[in-house]
Structure 1
Amino acid sequence: MIVEHAILQVRPGQSATFEAAMTKARALVASQPGFHSIEVRQSDDDPERYLLLILWDSIESHRDGFRASPEYQQWRALLHHFYDPMPVVNCYGRSIFP
């Protein structure tokens, strides 16, 4: 299992519009092979900052599947203009706890 993680900093005043777009974008990622779940949490400290967590079967499902798909292009069109700066996406695999 892979955990995709990103901190999404949304442009000031755009949180409500971003959340509506993320609701639409959710279906795009959820339809992908290897997808397990998506979670988006708003920061209590900064209402324009969000934590994105997506669980995948494998790094290949994320990188070679979703990122190479037409649905990812739709995801980008829906969401990327909200970010300032563009988020750094990291993927985590092995858990240190059994």
Structure 2
Amino acid sequence: MIIKHALLRVSDGKKSHFEAAMAEARPLIAASPGFIDIEVRPSVEGAGTYLLLVRWNSVADHRDGFRTSSRYEQWRGLLHDFYDPLPEVGYFGDPL
């Protein structure tokens, strides 16, 4: 299992719209082969900042599966206009 992480910085004044769009987008990613779980956590220190954690069976399930699918295009259409700047994405393996 791997965890994909992204720090999402949502443009000022768009928090409630982002959260509604994320609720709409969750089923798109959840329907993907290799998907395990998703968490979106708001920062307790900075308004408009969220930590996205998605658990996948493998990096390929995310990168070569979901990211090349029509579901990703819908996900992107729902969410990417909220980010300023676009998030950095990283993958993490099993705990030590």
Normalising by structure 2, we get a TM-score of: 0.98
Runs of 4+ with >6 A deviation: none
Matched with 1:77 is: 77
Give the RMSD, CA atoms, in angstroms.
0.6
Matched with 2:44 is: 44
* Partner amino acid, structure 2, of 1:82: F
Take 1:52 and 1:29, find their aligned partners in 2: how far apart are those partners?
12
Q: SS of the counterpart of 1:11?
A: coil
Report sequence identity in percent: 53
Which runs of 5 or more residues in structure 2 are unaligned? none
Question: How big is the shift at 1:13?
Answer: 0.4
Take 2:21 and 2:67, find their aligned partners in 1: how far apart are those partners?
18
* Partner amino acid, structure 2, of 1:91: Y
Question: How big is the shift at 1:32?
Answer: 0.3
Normalising by structure 1, we get a TM-score of: 0.96
* Partner amino acid, structure 2, of 1:84: D
Take 1:23 and 1:9, find their aligned partners in 2: how far apart are those partners?
17
Which runs of 5 or more residues in structure 1 are unaligned? none
Question: How big is the shift at 1:38?
Answer: 0.2
Deviations along 1:70-96, one digit per CA (max 9) or x if unpaired, are 000000000000000000000111321
Take 2:4 and 2:90, find their aligned partners in 1: how far apart are those partners?
6
